[in-house]
Amino acid sequence: MTAAAPIASPNDLEAFWMPFTANRSFKRNPRMVARAEGMFYYTPDNKPVMDGTAGLWCCNAGHAREPIIQAIQAQARDLDYAPSFQYGHPKVFAAAARIAALAPGDLDHVFFAGSGSEAADSALKIALAYWNVTGKAAKTRLIGRERGYHGVGFGGISVGGMSNNRKFFGSLLSGVDHLAHTYDREKQAFSKGEPDYGAHFADDLERIVALHDASTIAAVIVEPMAGSTGALPPPKGYLQRLREICDKHGILLIFDEVITGFGRLGFAFAAERYGVIPDMITFAKGVTSGTVPMGGVIVRKHIYEAFMGGPDNVIELFHGYTYSGHPLAAAASLAALDIYREEGLFERARAMEGAFADAVMSLKGEPNVVDIRTLGLVGAIDLAPRAEGPGKRGYEVIERAFHEEGLMIRTAADTIAFSPPLIITESQVDELIGKLRRTIRAVAN
Ligand code: PMP
């Protein structure tokens, strides 16, 4: 007889291979949260930690919101799971209708996935299939952007522009090009909101069209505000110009709004803020206020209709996930959208943007601060790297903020990014900035 395997100790951190984490140093000095409510997480020994990041840019309504809890609990009791391949359940249709109603223009059909990565890959596949069903199957090239992030699926990392997310994973998708990113520190430093300089970066698309010909290009995918590479607001006029060039050449435009969707920039979607209607919007995160995994793609009428033109009674799109439109996610989404509407959280974020930007900019002049960017309820601060190399100071920021200031923060190399829940009050903004100021000073030496 073999001996029974020992039961793992609940304090043993070894088995979990943490994503996007330096596992060994984390496990020597773990940062744990065990509970959350409103604007705060709490450590296992009950120390409050301000949520400076809305989790991972997702808990827009704040934590432990009773209507969402109740909706999830009731849904688990009533209908825990149902497929959405060839069967339906009421909440998923209701969620799609509510999400579509929030999107501008004729973005009126919603395809569900389980995450932002799945949403990005779904949008890319829909773009390719769209050209296929409309008789232009040669349009297969996909265009992303340097410093773009579209999740970690093979499609997403191929069009994405973060070298660490790409370089370990082989040859990726072929037929992919990247636009230049839109950040120029010399000309844009310390600009609040959209920088005045840089609309011309959109013209880089003309270069790619000239190289390959529009007849081979399916779609362009960009985040309206690049988030994960340090929050890069779009230069004034840039997104509009990108739309014009796509229209001129018959190229689909996809906005990845996984971060910018659901109020982060003061509107349901950034597309509304900028008055630009892309052909597809990807979303995730805030759609359920981070409570249950859900992502998806909102498509314009002409895209959906193109797939409906064939014979009846056949599957139009060979794509989908077991958890597309999961009942718990659909229920959580309806409850989150109710909160956003009832509490006017998108409008609230819009109204706070100016004061938030001023507060964040007050960190100019603190040690090592080389640039600050703000947009909506997003702030990013670039710190000069330590002499030993990039990323070291960023890591210290996380450690110090969490342990000494009780603040959850994000860093990308030596950029600090923060994006608090949209329920943050003005005095909590001051508290957040105070914590940041002390942390930045503490890592100065
Ligand atoms: N797209 C964007 C713009 C994102 O910011 C993210 C996640 N930060 C994703 C896609 C991927 O989402 P997920 O982690 O849910 O797969």
Ligand 1 atom at shortest distance from the alpha carbon of 115: 15
CA of 187 to the centre of ligand 1 (A): 28
Number of other CB atoms surrounding residue 310 within 10 Å: 11
Model pLDDT, residue 11: 75
Model pLDDT, residue 9: 73
Ligand 1 atom at shortest distance from the alpha carbon of 228: 5
Q: CATH number of 68-342: 1.20.1640.10, 3.20.10.10, 3.30.70.3450, 3.40.640.10?
A: 3.40.640.10
Residues 6+ apart with CB under 8 A from 153: 117, 118, 120, 121
Number of other CB atoms surrounding residue 182 within 10 Å: 27
Model pLDDT, residue 119: 99
pLDDT tens for each residue of 388-420: 989 899 999 999 999 999 999 999 999 999 999
Kindly indicate whether the domain formed by 23-64+344-442 is annotated with CATH number 3.30.470.20. no
Model pLDDT, residue 310: 87
* 257 pocket-lining for ligand 1 (C-beta < 6 Å): no
CA of 258 to the centre of ligand 1 (A): 6
| pTM exceeding the 0.95 threshold for the entire prediction | yes
Ligand 1 atom at shortest distance from the alpha carbon of 148: 3
Mutate to test the pocket of ligand 1, among 159, 222, 285 (most ligand atoms within 8 A of CB): 285
Mutate to test the pocket of ligand 1, among 154, 228, 257, 260 (most ligand atoms within 8 A of CB): 228
CA of 116 to the centre of ligand 1 (A): 4
Model pLDDT, residue 171: 93
Model pLDDT, residue 81: 98
Secondary structure (3-state) at 378: strand
* 256 pocket-lining for ligand 1 (C-beta < 6 Å): yes
* 91 pocket-lining for ligand 1 (C-beta < 6 Å): no
| Residue reference for tokens 């699926």 | 153
User: 420 and 58 in contact (C-beta within 8 Å)?
Assistant: no
* 149 pocket-lining for ligand 1 (C-beta < 6 Å): yes
* 270 pocket-lining for ligand 1 (C-beta < 6 Å): no
Ligand 1 atom at shortest distance from the alpha carbon of 56: 8
Model pLDDT, residue 327: 98
User: 278 and 270 in contact (C-beta within 8 Å)?
Assistant: no
Distance CA 398, CA 21 (A): 12
CA of 180 to the centre of ligand 1 (A): 20
Burial 401-433 (b: 16+ CB within 10 A, else e): bbeebbbbbbbbbbbbbbbbbbbbeeebbebbb
* 116 pocket-lining for ligand 1 (C-beta < 6 Å): yes
* 228 pocket-lining for ligand 1 (C-beta < 6 Å): yes
Tell me, what DSSP letter sits at residue 226? B
**What separation in angstroms does the CA of 362 have from each of 35, 359, 374, 438?**
31, 5, 12, 13
Question: Which residues of the chain are under the pLDDT cut of 50?
Answer: none
- CATH 3.40.640.10 segments of the chain: 68-342
CA of 226 to the centre of ligand 1 (A): 11
**What separation in angstroms does the CA of 143 have from each of 7, 158, 217, 252, 340?**
49, 9, 8, 10, 33
**What separation in angstroms does the CA of 343 have from each of 238, 348, 380?**
32, 8, 26
Model pLDDT, residue 252: 99
- CATH 3.90.1150.10 segments of the chain: 23-64+344-442
Ligand 1 atom at shortest distance from the alpha carbon of 153: 16
